[in-house]
Amino acid sequence: MLSAGEAWRDCFKAFYVHKFRAVLGKNRLIFPGEKVLLAWSGGPSSSSMVWQVLEGLSRDSAKRLRFVPGVVYVDEGAACGQSLGDRAKTVAEMKLILQTVGFHWHIVALEEVFSLPPSVLRCFAQEPSGTKGAYKAAVDSFLQQQHAPAQGKEGLSQPGTQDPQNPSAPPSAAQTEAQPPIAAQTEALSRLFNSVKTLTAKEELLQTLRTHLILHVARTHGYSKVMTGDSCTRLAIKLMTSLALGRGAFLAWDTGFSDERHGDVVVVRPMRDHTLKEIAFYNRLFAVPSVFTPAIDTKAPEKSSIHRLMEAFVLRLQAQFPSTVSTVYRTSEKLVKAPRDGSAGGPPGPRCLLCMCALDIDTADSATAFGVQTLHLSQMQPPTPPAEAPTTPCCSARVGGAQGCCQGAGPCGRQDPRAHVIEQLCYGCRVNMKDVPSLDPLPPYILTEAQLRSQRAWVLQELQEYLIEDSDDEVQTGES
């Protein structure tokens, strides 16, 4: 007969596991056989997420998970001021845990953002997920393949994939290790973060670069979903922080279960129903390993950044009123992702260069903070100089010799190249970029994509003006 402690332990585990499986089953976004990348930081929440997936793929699981998992770890030691020795020690601890898990794993250094292609900032078309009937058909097809003869399974298996039936077996290509970071890239990353004025802007920049790098890893290795370990408590803090940072228009994407802003890769948050207290109890009771890695705000004072201030505010309020986190979290569940790409069925609208959300566009004369910034940018941009006296270097010299340069008559002729980047950002990202004095330390892929977007916008505007003039000429010719 079980003791009271053992019974409570088993009941808590069943409750914890059920919440994880239920949030995945209710949304039905992950199809059987789909490749899913688990973003693992080594912390308690993401470690618990990896262990939930590991147990869900086992044969003894009541409701088995049917996707193919992989794990990615981003080494952010250079941005946090860690030495190479400390970073190597942390990576070695990560490898020991990853080898125990047995999934595909990828270890990448944050310095690799300086070698990313500009295409990482482009939103690719998403394949239609289908209806509930399509999901049921996919499950039935997957079960039929499992019950097929052994020779049939061999023909369906692909090299380098993990067998969902036996996650403990070593895969054919189990790991992808990052190359040792180049000293020049490490120095460039340190120079970038040292140039940022405030800790708030540093945290936002670090989150942006981390997201871009994980997105690139997912696209390179064929993952269509990315799982993050954001807990209920963390999402409640993030909601309040996003409001303070001017990102209220994108709360549904930043805190919802799914985030489809990238198109072909969807970010899901299966731990959003678990509080930090529940995660800590589960990891302690069932010996879930985790690795402590110092963050960029470790040991920072409470009022050093908006993120730290909101975290202290919510946690202190939660200690006094235990329903605080759940109330904020339930409010985030009611947020609806309003389409901001224009009319339904129309062409997609412009997106933010950094966070890749749809631009919250307002005219310069509107009574909003974004409208005031738009008016300020329009005043910063002087009239276009003549073609024979360009004021800035040619765009073909800065963007790999692109053909068809505007020869000083288009975006290259502006006196303030910073406006090229700022005008392509949403309100929240514009506020953060105020604390970045110079854009030169930014990774090249951001500046290159900004220049390419400016060129495309200028060419499109010129083409529209030409078509209007041509139609006016035809009307005048017909009247004469």
pLDDT in tens, 33-91: 999 999 999 999 999 999 999 999 986 767 789 899 999 999 999 999 899 999 999 99
Classified as helix, coil or strand, 282 is helix
The percentage of the chain sitting over the pLDDT mark of 90, rounded to a whole number, equals: 55
CATH code of the domain containing 220: 3.40.50.620
In a domain, residue 308? The reply is: yes
Question: 61 by DSSP, 3-state: which?
Answer: coil
In a domain, 321, yes or no: yes
Q: How far is CA 413 from the centre of its chain?
A: 33
CA distances from 12 to 15, 230, 269, 278, 323 (A): 5, 20, 21, 9, 20
Which has the closest alpha carbon to 271: 304, 229, 302? 229
Containing domain of residue 192, as a range? Answer: 4-126+174-334
For position 419, what pLDDT does the model report? Answer: 85
CA distance 190 to 22: 42
Q: How would you class 56 by CB atoms within 10 Å of its CB: exposed for 0-12, middle for 13-18, buried for 19 or more?
A: buried
Element (H, E) at 332: helix 324-333
**DSSP states of 382-423 as a string?**
PPPPPTTS-SS--HHHHTTS-SS--TTSSGGG-S-THHHHHT
Is 398 part of a structural domain of the chain? no
Buried b (16+ CB within 10 A) or exposed e, 95-128: eebbeebbbbbbbbbbbbbbebebebbebeeeee
Q: Let me know: does 290 contact 59? Beta carbons within 8 Å.
A: no
pLDDT (tens digit, 9 = 90+) per residue, 367-402? 555 555 555 555 555 444 444 444 444 544 444 444
Does some domain include residue 211? yes
* DSSP letters for 191-239: HHHHH---HHHHHHHHHHHHHHHHHHHHHHTT--EEE----HHHHHHHH
- Alpha carbons 296 and 304: distance in angstroms, whole number: 12
- 193 compared with 341, residue with greater pLDDT: 193
Beta bridge partners, 108, equal 74
Contact 424, 350 (CB under 8 A): yes
The residue among 351 and 471 whose pLDDT is bigger is 351
Let me know if residue 161 belongs to a domain.
no
Backbone phi and psi for residue 126, each to the nearest 5 degrees, phi listed first: -95, 135
Report yes or no: 195 and 441 within 8 Å, Cβ to Cβ: yes
List, for residues 269-310, the tens digit of each pLDDT value.
999 999 999 999 999 999 999 999 999 999 899 999 999 999
What's the number of domains the chain is made of? 1
378 belongs to a structural domain? no
Full-model pTM: 0.82
How high is the pLDDT of residue 361?
Answer: 64
pLDDT in tens, 138-164: 665 666 666 665 444 333 333 333 444
Q: Which residue has the higher pLDDT, 161 or 199?
A: 199
Show the tokens assigned to 141.
């097809």
Choose from 129-133, 162-166, 289-293, 418-422 the range with maximum mean pLDDT: 289-293
Q: Report yes or no: 449 and 353 within 8 Å, Cβ to Cβ.
A: yes
CA distance 74 to 112: 10
Q: Beta-carbon neighbour count of residue 148 at 10 Å?
A: 12
Q: Say if 330 falls within a structural domain.
A: yes
pLDDT recorded at residue 389: 40
Judge whether 103 lies within some domain: yes
